[in-house]
Structure 1
Amino acid sequence: MLACSTYHRDVAHASLFIQNTSVTVCSIVLMLVFSYKQRIEQIWDGWLTVVCYTVVIVLADVANLASTALTIAIQRDWIVVITGYNRGHLAGMNATMRRIDQVTNILAPLAVGQVMTLASNVVGCGFILGWNLFSLIVEFFFLSRVYRIVPALSVKPPTAEGDQTHLERTEGRSPQGEGNVAQPHPLPEENSNSSVHRKEITNLPLCFQRFRWLMSTCKDGWRAYYRQPVFLAGMGLAFLYTTVLGFDCITTGYAYTQGISGSLLSVLMGVSAITGLMGTVMFTKLRKTYGLVNTGIISSCLHLGCLLLCVCSVFAPGSPMDLSLLMPYFASNSSVEPGETATQKQKHAYPLTGGRNQPLLPDRSSIHWTNNTVLFDNVPSGTAPESYISIILLFLGVITARIGLWSFDLTVTQLLQETISESERGVVNGVQSSMNYLMDLLHFIMVISAPQPEHFGILVIISVLFITTGHSMYFLYAHKAKRKHRLDRIHT
Structure 2
Amino acid sequence: MGSGEGSIPLKIRLFVYLSHALSTWGDRMWSFGVGLFMVIISPESLRVTAVYGLSMGTAVLLFGALVGEWIDRTPRLKAARMSLIVQNTSVVVCALIVYTVITWKTEIQAAWPNEGLLILSYVAIILVAILAMLGSIGTNIAVQKDWIVEICGDDKNLLASMTATLRRIDLCNKLVAPIATGQIMYFASVGVGAFFIAGWNLVSVFIEYILLWKVYSLVPALKNKKLWNGEPAEQEMETLKSNQGDDLDVEGHDPITSSNSIGDAEKLNEDASVATDEETKLKNETEQKKEKKKDPFWIKMFSGFIILYRGWKTYIKYDEAFAGLGLAALYMTVLGFDNITVGFAYTQGINESIMGVAMAAGAITGIVGTFLYPFIGKRIGLERTGLFGFFFEVMFLCLCVASIWAPGSPFDPFLKQSADTITVCNLPSDNGTGLTNGNLTSVPYNVTNSDVFNKTIGNTSLSVAGLQQTMTGLNTTGDQSSCAEQEADRGKHSLISVWLLLAGIIGARCGLWMADLTITQLFLEHVKETERGIVNGVQTSLNKLMDMLKFIMVIAAPDPHVFGILILVSFFFIILGWISYAKYSYGVRGHLFHFDKIRKCECSDTRNNNQVEEVIGD
Q: Secondary structure at the match of 2:336?
A: coil
Tell whether 2:516 aligns with 1:409. yes
1:448 alignment partner, one of 555, 567, 586: 555
Q: Report the CA distance shift for 1:461/1:451 in structure 2 as closer, same or farther (over 3 A).
A: same
Q: Report the CA distance shift for 1:216/1:449 in structure 2 as closer, same or farther (over 3 A).
A: closer
Matches of 1:155 and 1:268 in 2, distance apart? 46
Q: Is the Cα–Cα contact under 8 Å of residues 311 and 534 in structure 2 kept in the other structure?
A: yes
| 1:153-210 CA-partner distances (Å, limit 9, x unpaired) | x999xxxxxxxxxxxxxxxxxxxxxxxxxxxxxxxxxxxxxxxxx9xxx9xxx9xx53
- 1:354 aligned partner: 443
Alignment of structure 1 residues 72-91 onto 2, 5 Å? none
1:316 alignment partner, one of 387, 402, 406: 406
TM-score by length of structure 1 reads 0.62
Q: Is the Cα–Cα contact under 8 Å of residues 99 and 277 in structure 1 kept in the other structure?
A: no
Matches of 1:312 and 1:123 in 2, distance apart? 38
Q: Is the Cα–Cα contact under 8 Å of residues 225 and 231 in structure 1 kept in the other structure?
A: no
Tell whether 2:233 aligns with 1:233. no
Q: Report the CA distance shift for 1:16/1:480 in structure 2 as closer, same or farther (over 3 A).
A: farther
Q: Secondary structure at the match of 1:347?
A: coil
Matches of 2:146 and 2:587 in 1, distance apart? 26
More divergent stretch after superposition (312-321 vs 379-388): 379-388
Q: Is the Cα–Cα contact under 8 Å of residues 26 and 55 in structure 1 kept in the other structure?
A: no
More divergent stretch after superposition (452-461 vs 45-54): 45-54
1:308 is displaced (CA, Å) by: 1.4
Q: Report the CA distance shift for 1:298/1:68 in structure 2 as closer, same or farther (over 3 A).
A: farther
- 1:466 aligned partner: 573
Matches of 2:379 and 2:79 in 1, distance apart? 37
Asked which structure has the greater CA Rg, the reply is 2
Matches of 2:443 and 2:332 in 1, distance apart? 28
1:269 is displaced (CA, Å) by: 2.6
- 1:289 aligned partner: 379
Matches of 1:80 and 1:470 in 2, distance apart? 35
2:587 alignment partner, one of 467, 476, 480: 480
Q: Report the CA distance shift for 1:261/1:26 in structure 2 as closer, same or farther (over 3 A).
A: closer
> Unpaired runs of 5+ in structure 2?
1-64, 229-290, 424-440, 465-486, 592-618
Q: Report the CA distance shift for 1:364/1:272 in structure 2 as closer, same or farther (over 3 A).
A: same
1:106 is displaced (CA, Å) by: 3.6
- Give, as a single letter, the amino acid of the residue that structure 1 aligns with 2:314: R
1:284 is displaced (CA, Å) by: 2.6
Matches of 1:290 and 1:9 in 2, distance apart? 47
- Give, as a single letter, the amino acid of the residue that structure 1 aligns with 2:516: D
1:125 is displaced (CA, Å) by: 1.0
1:402 is displaced (CA, Å) by: 0.8
Q: Report the CA distance shift for 1:294/1:143 in structure 2 as closer, same or farther (over 3 A).
A: farther
- Give, as a single letter, the amino acid of the residue that structure 2 aligns with 1:131: S
- Give, as a single letter, the amino acid of the residue that structure 2 aligns with 1:403: C
Q: Is the Cα–Cα contact under 8 Å of residues 397 and 508 in structure 2 kept in the other structure?
A: yes
Q: Is the Cα–Cα contact under 8 Å of residues 182 and 353 in structure 2 kept in the other structure?
A: no
Q: When the two structures are aligned, how many residues end up with a matched partner? A: 400
Tell whether 2:333 aligns with 1:243. yes
Q: Report the CA distance shift for 1:67/1:300 in structure 2 as closer, same or farther (over 3 A).
A: farther
Q: Is the Cα–Cα contact under 8 Å of residues 15 and 67 in structure 1 kept in the other structure?
A: no
Q: Is the Cα–Cα contact under 8 Å of residues 283 and 295 in structure 1 kept in the other structure?
A: yes
Tell whether 2:110 aligns with 1:21. no
TM-score by length of structure 2 reads 0.51
| 1:53-105 CA-partner distances (Å, limit 9, x unpaired) | 655533432443454577689889999999x9x9xx98x99987665433322
- 2:205 aligned partner: 132
Q: Secondary structure at the match of 1:227?
A: helix
Q: Is the Cα–Cα contact under 8 Å of residues 259 and 384 in structure 1 kept in the other structure?
A: no
Q: Report the CA distance shift for 1:222/1:477 in structure 2 as closer, same or farther (over 3 A).
A: farther
- Give, as a single letter, the amino acid of the residue that structure 2 aligns with 1:22: V
> Unpaired runs of 5+ in structure 1?
157-197, 329-344, 369-375, 485-492
Matches of 1:295 and 1:80 in 2, distance apart? 32
Tell whether 2:354 aligns with 1:254. no
Q: Percent identity?
A: 36
- Give, as a single letter, the amino acid of the residue that structure 1 aligns with 2:455: S
1:300 is displaced (CA, Å) by: 0.9
Tell whether 2:127 aligns with 1:58. yes
- Give, as a single letter, the amino acid of the residue that structure 2 aligns with 1:444: F
| 1:336-384 CA-partner distances (Å, limit 9, x unpaired) | xxxxxxxxx451678635352579xxx999359xxxxxxx996999635
Q: Is the Cα–Cα contact under 8 Å of residues 305 and 541 in structure 2 kept in the other structure?
A: no
- Give, as a single letter, the amino acid of the residue that structure 1 aligns with 2:324: G
More divergent stretch after superposition (393-402 vs 286-295): 286-295
